[in-house]
Every structure is written in C-alpha cells, then in structure tokens.
Amino acid sequence: MTHARIVLWLSLTLRSTRSLCRANFVEWQPPKPPNPGAMENGTGPCREERPPTAQETTVTEGAAKIVFPSSNEVFYNPVQEFNRDLTCAVITEFARIQLGTKGIQIKVPGEKDLQKVVVDLSEQEEEKVDWKDGENLAPGDKPQIAVVGEICEEGLRVLEGLAASGLRSIRFALEVPGLRSVVANDASARAVDLMRHNVQLNGVAHLVQPNQADARMLMYQHQKVSERFDVIDLDPYGSPAPFLDAAVQAVSEGGLLCVTCTDMAVLAGNSGETCYSKYGAMALKSRACHEMALRIVLHSLDLRANCYQRFVVPLLSISADFYVRVFVRVFTGQAKVKASASKQALVFQCVGCGALHLQRLGKAGEGVPGTKPAEGGGAAIPAATPRPCSLLPVCPQLGGPLWAEPIHNLDFVGRVLEAVSTNPERFHTSERIRGVLSVITEELPDVPLYYTLDQLSSTIHCNTPSLLQLRSALLHAGFRVSLSHACKSAVKTDAPSTALWDIMRCWEKTCPVKRERLSETSPAFRILSVEPRLQANFTIREDANPSSRQRGLKRFQANPEANWGPRPRARPGAKAASQVLERRRLLQNKRKDPPEDRAQRAARLKTFPCKRFKEGTCQQGDQCCYSHSPLPGASADATPTDCPETPPTRTPLDPGPAAGPGVD
C-alpha cells in the first residue's frame, strides 16, 4: 500500500469515528432547563395528563375536582372549605361592584336574573353612590354579560400567592364570573406540577396560569400601576407577615386583599413578643382575644400600607375555627394616611376584674394649633391618658396598638348575605355562611372588643346569669348590647365597666356569695364591697333575643371532624397526613427521653452525694440510694434529698425530705 493510500484510509477512519462520537454526545445530552420567562408566565410545556394512582386522592369541592398526593407533599386542609366558599362569595360581589361601574353584568350559576343595585365602596366610606346595571350604557346597547369559565377582557386579575394544589384558583375560575386571569403561584416545584395537572383536569387552562416563584418577589415585580392585581389572596401556613409588605404594593387602587392567619397562638396572647415582631403589636391574654387578633391584623395591614401613602378599608373580618380571615380594600391618599393614627388605639386591661379601655393614639382634628390645618382634617392630635380601673388599686396591662374602627362594612356584608341566601345551593357551607354573616350584621360596629358571661361571673365567684337576662338588664339600663361572631358567650356593649359591674352586683344579691370565703385582697371582695348605684332589672325583653338566635341559624359550628385544626406542614417525601396525626396523638404529652430501667436509675442516683449523710442524720446506711462517699466535682446544692428506692421511716415530727432532681 502506497503512502498516499495509507493517509487516505486513516483520514476516512478518523472522520467516521468523529461522526459517531458526535452523534452519541448529542443523543445523551441532558435536557435544557425550561425557559424562566415561560415558567414565570405559566406558559411552560404542560405535562401529559396521568390518571390518579394509588398514591393519590381525588377530592371534589364546589365545582372543582382536584387530585393531590396521599402523602403530605402538597398541603390541603378540608376543614377550610368554609374559608374557600366565603372567599368565592366575597370576590363575586366585589366583581359585581367593580364591573358594574363599567356597565358589565355578571351571571352567577343558579342565581335569578334580578336587577341588583351596586354600591360603590370608594375611599369615601360615608358617601355611597348607587349604580344600576346598564345605567351608563347608550340607548339600544345591550349590556355585556360576564359568565363563569370565560375570559372577561375588562375583568379582574387575581393572584393566589400560595396556591399549593391550586384548588382555590380553580374554584375561582369555575365559580366566579368576570375574571380576566388567575395566577396560581407556589414556590414548590411539586405543587406547581400538581397544579398543572389539576388545571388540565378541570379544563381551565385558559384562565388559570400556574407559576413557580417566591410570592414576595412575584408581587414586588407587579408594583407598577398597570401590572397590579385586582384581587390578591394570601393563605399561608402560619403567619402572613412576610408577605404583607409586598401585597399592599401589588394590589390595584381599590383592589381587594384577602389574608388568612393561622398562627392564633401568637395572636391570642400566648407569645406577646412574637406577636410584636410579626405584626407590630402586643397581644393580651383576654377573653376577647379572637376579636383582638382581627384588629391586630388590620392594624398591621394599615401600618404597612401607610409606608407607601396607602390605607386599608375593611370589608369583612372573620374569626372562625383556628384562624382569622380579613377582606380589605386598599386605596391611595396622603390626607387619609395622616388620619390613620386616629384609627389605632392602645388597650388597657385591668389584671383584676378584666375591664377593658381603649385609648386612641390620636384624634382627627382641624390641625395642630399654630399650624395650617391639613387637607381633609387628617392631622392627628394626641388624646388624654386614661385613668386606670377605679375598682382595683392595680396597674393595668397595656396591649396594642390595634385597629379601633369598624372591622366590617355592613352594606357589603348585607350584599354577600343576600346573594348566599337567595342561592344556597351554590356552596356546601351556605348554612354556616348565612349564620355567621347574620351575627355580623347584628354586631355593634362602633364598640371594639367584648366581655363574656363566664368571665363576669367567675370574677366575683357567683352563678352565671343567662344570656337573655344579662342582655335584658343592659337594655333596661339604656345601653346597647349585641353578640359577637368571634365568641358564643360574648357580650358586646357600650356600657362602661362600672355599670356592668353594678349589674353583676345586683345579680349576686339573688344568690349571695359567702363573703367569709373571699380574701380581702381578691377582686371579688373589692367589687362586692361596693354598693351598686344602678338597680338592674332582669326581666326578659323581647328584643333581648337576637334575630339570628330566634331563627335558629348555624352561627357557631362545632368541630366538623375528629383531629380537626391546622394540618402538618407539607414536606417533600412526607408521610400521609393521617399517619402524622396518629403519631402526634400517640406521642402527645410524652417525654422525649426514653424511660430508664431500675438499674440505670440506681446507678445515676449513686453519682449524687447524700446530703443527710453529710449532716450526720442519714439512717439508711448501705441501703441509701445516694453515695456516702463525697465524689470529686459533686455539688451539694444540686444533691437530691429523697430516696425513691427505700423511703425512710418518718416520725410525726419529721415532715420528710424534700424532692430533688431526678425524682418524680
């Protein structure tokens, strides 16, 4: 073979080998990551639908049908169906109000075609403008109809910041008319994958856009006026505090912000310093802790909105089950922001009798003397310092600041109540929604916080009067009184604490308390030692029984199921929620350390020197479970003084040794 032929043969061989290697490299090249822009907009490639396997559970709620894993990888709590039903009802009425100003009517499934009056809930709360459907249309034009499941070009843009399985967003698309788009966001890749599957399963891919991102970053990216959301729903696991700053900036002018807080232990006063770090207010341990929690959340929302020249207007505030839920509208206005200090108050609570007093941080006036009055009278003038409770010479507890204005818009609540009452088949929890909203319409809007029957009676150690007797006594005395949806035995009244205790003194005379059993320093002795100035009349009045109670509405629901309440946090590769709850029940109130046997216990006790042997009074001898020889490094202060193995014989003059460490 000549030299030229050898070179040609080698070049052809190397070329074929190079082509084969390149083909293999292309074949085994790892797939490229998805486009971040497409993922952010929810337009990434959707995976094929897969039928639910044995590891998945199918749930039908409302008009939605979702599949979620049986293991606790994606969070889902069936107890919060009331929360989701109420949210759909509130957003529907909000859409009716917003789209009614544009001449767009919404059509709710199952609702009769009735002409509804739309109330404009603008930033001027007292000025109400009535809008009728199609009023601003030209003659001969047909009003535009928005139905569920279809895109409304001028409709609402909704964001669910923490969507989990996507159930709430899918229900919005299937049950709320007048929507332009719904962004279902979650930071978990497993949750977003499940959302895409559920969106395809319900056929709402044209409305719901699954998105994987940090909810805070997503809302910070939509701060521009043209990119804001009309409705933002936040239902986190625990506290929503990390998301509130971004939420008040990403909601549109007059938009709706829906927030859920499930950290009730913090908001109810069990950890005041934690409540201050999250919400900027100190929570007190009070019988009115559930309403106080609502007012603390509203204060925190308004405080964060004020940083950006915005303020909140509450529409509906609910305390239900193990969480609180608030619906507020967010507006922009410098003059209104200046008056926000007059909407906050500190709360003083007597540590003895539990009397409550609210002190506003300021009052709305014409302005500070010597200065130019602010526009709209928004200047805040500090008010006087309150006097402590005159009944007991003790210092009151100080809590707050908290929201001191009404926590509901009764016109809006009436609209939601009417819509649910006329179409009860729309929601599975319609009966409970009717009961809770009916109690809310009966609440005194200008009276913050409340007392309870058991609190008043237990303070003076007397029998508890019936609810109708106490309400009748307050009405006979010329005061207003109502219930509260936050507590079954609540008494919300504008009567001062002195008048309230006068009524309880009169009630105590019907069944006297044995004064000799009361300590002279106890609150009961000091309260009962004062003669009442007001003579109470406990005759039952007809108006003492509220309408919701007479109709037998479902106002305060019992526990819906066993082991109800907050579910375990979703974790990748976690066990099923039922297994976690069962293990939690078995290990409840159990020590973390494994129990030690008798030999281990005896060896551990021998490491402690006997204090009685050191004093020369130990009579156990070699049978003593403690050491009679001083050990190096042993401390006599930490020495136990009781032997559980062989207890000494005690004489009547010898009370016995005291219990020491390591002894039950």
**Inter-residue contact 264 to 254 (CB < 8 Å):** no
Entry field: residues in the chain: 664
CA distance 285 to 287: 7
Q: Please, what is the end-to-end C-alpha distance for the chain in angstroms?
A: 100
Question: How high is the pLDDT of residue 259?
Answer: 95
Distance CA 238, CA 310 (A): 25
**pLDDT for 98:** 92
Q: Cβ of 165: how many Cβ atoms within 10 Å?
A: 24
Cα–Cα distance, 428 to 160 (Å, whole number): 22
Helix (H) or strand (E) holding 611, with range, is helix 611-615
H-assigned helices in 340-466 = 410-422, 430-442, 453-459
Q: Report the distance separating Cα 210 and Cα 194, nearest Å.
A: 9
Residues 470, 541: Cα–Cα separation, whole Å: 10
- pLDDT of 34 reads 39
CB atoms within 10 A of CB 28: 7
Between strands 229-234 and 251-261, the pairing is: parallel
Ranges under pLDDT 50 in the chain = 7, 17-54, 72, 114-119, 122-140, 367-376, 379, 631, 633-664
Among candidate residues 447, 444, 470, the one with its CA nearest the CA of residue 457: 470
The DSSP output letter for 532 is: P
Gap between the Cα atoms of 588 and 582, Å rounded:
10
Residue 401: half-sphere exposure toward Cβ, Cα within 13 Å: 20
The answer to pTM > 0.85 is no
Q: What pLDDT does residue 47 have?
A: 36
Phi, psi of 13 (to 5 degrees): -65, -45
